Structure formats: C-alpha cells, structure tokens
Structure 1
Amino acid sequence: MDDHAPSRFHLAQFNVATLVLPLDDPRMADFVALLDPVNALADATPGFVWRLVEEGEADATGMRPAGEDVIINFSVWESAGSLWDFVYRSAHLETMRRRREWFRRHMEAHLVMWWIPAGHVPTVEEAMERLALIREHGPTPRAFTFNASYTAEEAAQAEEAAQAEEAEEAAQADVAAAAAGPERGSPVA
C-alpha cells in the first residue's frame, strides 16, 4: 500500500459521523478538545495535501450537509499509504479508539475514498455523491475503502467508462426526443 512517489493522482477521503450529543454538550468536551491537535497532526503528516475547513473556522464541524447531527471530515492525500499512516500509525488512532463515546454506530457506509487528479480540490457535493455511490453499489473503483481499495489507474478507467456511458445515454435520449418529433395535436403557429 506504500505509494509515496509523486503521482498524477491524489486520494480524497470523506467520512461522516453521527453525534450522540451536540458538540456544545459538556460530555463532548474531550472530543472537541482533540479537534485542533488532531487536525494539526493531519496537516503536518507527510503526504497530507488538503482538508476542508469552513470559512472563518479552524475545521468543518459546523458544516452539516449530511444532517444536523452529522459532522463531516474531508481531506486529500498524496497516496493511500500516507492516509493509512495518519489514520492507523499516529496519535489519531487513540481518537478512533474512543469514537463510540462520541458517535453512533453507522449501519451504512460512513467512509468513502476516491482518486482525483493531483491539484483538483473536490467539493462537498462530489463527496456526498461518492458516499451515495458506495452506499448504493458497495466498493467500486469510483468509491471505495481501505478494505476494498483500487488503484488510481483502475479508478481512471472506471471514470472514463462512466463518462462514456453517460454520453451514450444522453445521445440516445436526444435521438429518442428527435424521433418523437413535435407533440401531436399541438397548435402550429
């Protein structure tokens, strides 16, 4: 999984966590206190590229695109290996071990990863679409997890195939609309 060489692709990761209590509840104080140190650790980890930060804030915990009680984490990494090292080989792991204190157990996918062109800054809308993809279809080259991962090359091929399929569907819709012609019985000007 170690792929620290410069690449044309970077790895985007997006995850959601459903809070057991509001962030301002005193029982969430330990989690809130860990936000800045864990984010600083991520920012300083070799291979880190970018993380979503709400305008004027230090993090994205105020953004709630997945529901009022759901916080998001969204970042980009040079490689799967650099993300793995941060998640499982740094002080971040201790925070993960305590996640049941702060978050509900998800019954559906709560994490998604996908390859993006280096330099691309993904949007929250894009992330929500990828999360929906993995929830609907399971891991694919377009939306996957550490347990079922794909290479950047496999992802690029899948993206090209998906774009070709979308173009073909659009062309077929155009042909069908043209074949139908003007609606019968409509007044002619």
Structure 2
Amino acid sequence: MHLAQLNVGRLRAPMEDPLIDDFRENLEPVNALAEASPGFVWRLQDEAGDATGIKVFDDDLEIVNLTVWESVEALADFVYRTGHTAFLRRRREWFEAPSQPILCLWWVPEGTIPAIDDAVVRLEHLRAHGPTPTAFTFRHRFDPGEETVVPGDDRDVCPA
C-alpha cells in the first residue's frame, strides 16, 4: 500500500499578487525537492508543473496539493526534515489560518493515482468524523489494511 495525501489552503491574495511572490517563486524548487525525496511516488500537477491552477473549489484562492508516498514516514521526513520545513513555518505569510482540518492521509493500493474528487470527499469525511482509516492525520494514524469505508457508500460511519 502507498500513502495518499491531500492538503488545501486559502491564499491571502491571488497567486500573481506580490504578497504571494515568495511562495509562488519557490513552488518549483520545493516540488523538485519532494520528487527527489526518498519514498516520493507521484504528485498532482497541471501544465505549469504545479497544482495551483487546478480549481477544485468555487473559491479561486483555495489551492490543493495531492501526492502519493511509499509511507507515512517518507512523507513526514519530507515535510518536517527537509528544506520544505522552512516554507511550512512561513505558511501564515501566504495562507489564511484554517478553521478546520486542511490535511488528510489515506492508504491506496500501490500503483493507484487518487482522483482529486475522491481526495476532497476524504477530507470532508475527516472534517465530519475525525480520523478514521478512511482519512486520517499525522497525529492519528491508521495502518494499511485497517477497515476503510469508501466515502459515498451506504454506510455513514467509519469503524473506530
């Protein structure tokens, strides 16, 4: 199994605004760092090479990042133990403070590329039900193989 990850954020200004310059100008190097990191498998991107132009929500300031990794540890190493960390610490410069969860993790069969619509449904599931095998967080993890309720099926509650 591989780990899928979705995170979303609402920018403080449009991507072309000078307030967002440092974020926008570092997307390519940070994405290259991710791709070169041990355990990286795949990331969502458009023709420009990032996902900022992929609009999933009605709000143009809301952007997404969807990736697949070999393990939670590989993703955590990239997020918290590489040059990415410096940008993570500065996120409030470019993004509004979230009022609900903005990141979710879930397991996918190796070789699976997650659909963005499924990823958003999983984030909504996390927001509604908290961490479950369907969608979880770094703090509240589930192992591969624990029962997963596929969002949208006829069961409305995930097993604990």
TM-score by structure 1 length? 0.78
Q: SS of the residue aligned with 2:145?
A: helix
Q: Among residues 122, 134, 141, which one is paired with 2:126 in the alignment?
A: 134
Residue 37 of structure 1: CA displacement? 0.4
Q: SS of the residue aligned with 1:49?
A: strand
Q: SS of the residue aligned with 1:37?
A: helix
Residue 166 of structure 1: CA displacement? 3.2
Aligned residues: 153
Q: Among residues 22, 28, 44, which one is paired with 1:52 in the alignment?
A: 44
Q: Among residues 31, 43, 52, which one is paired with 1:61 in the alignment?
A: 52
Residue 72 of structure 1: CA displacement? 0.5
Q: SS of the residue aligned with 2:154?
A: helix
Runs of at least 4 residues off by over 6 Å: none
Q: Among residues 29, 34, 37, which one is paired with 1:37 in the alignment?
A: 29
Distance 1:53 1:142 in 2: 24
Q: Among residues 163, 166, 184, which one is paired with 2:154 in the alignment?
A: 166
Structure 2's unaligned 5+ residue stretches are: 156-160
- 1:123 maps to 115
Q: SS of the residue aligned with 1:152?
A: coil
Give the structure with higher Rg (CA): 1
Establish whether residue 149 from structure 1 lines up as the match of residue 141 from structure 2: yes
Letter in 1 for 2:154: E
Distance 2:148 2:24 in 1: 39
- 1:26 maps to 18
Distance 1:28 1:132 in 2: 27
Letter in 1 for 2:34: A
Residue 101 of structure 1: CA displacement? 0.2
Structure 1's unaligned 5+ residue stretches are: 1-8, 168-189
Distance 2:154 2:85 in 1: 40
Distance 2:139 2:43 in 1: 22
Residue 63 of structure 1: CA displacement? 1.0
Residue 103 of structure 1: CA displacement? 0.1
Distance 1:44 1:112 in 2: 22
Establish whether residue 98 from structure 1 lines up as the match of residue 90 from structure 2: yes
TM-score by structure 2 length? 0.91
- 2:102 maps to 110
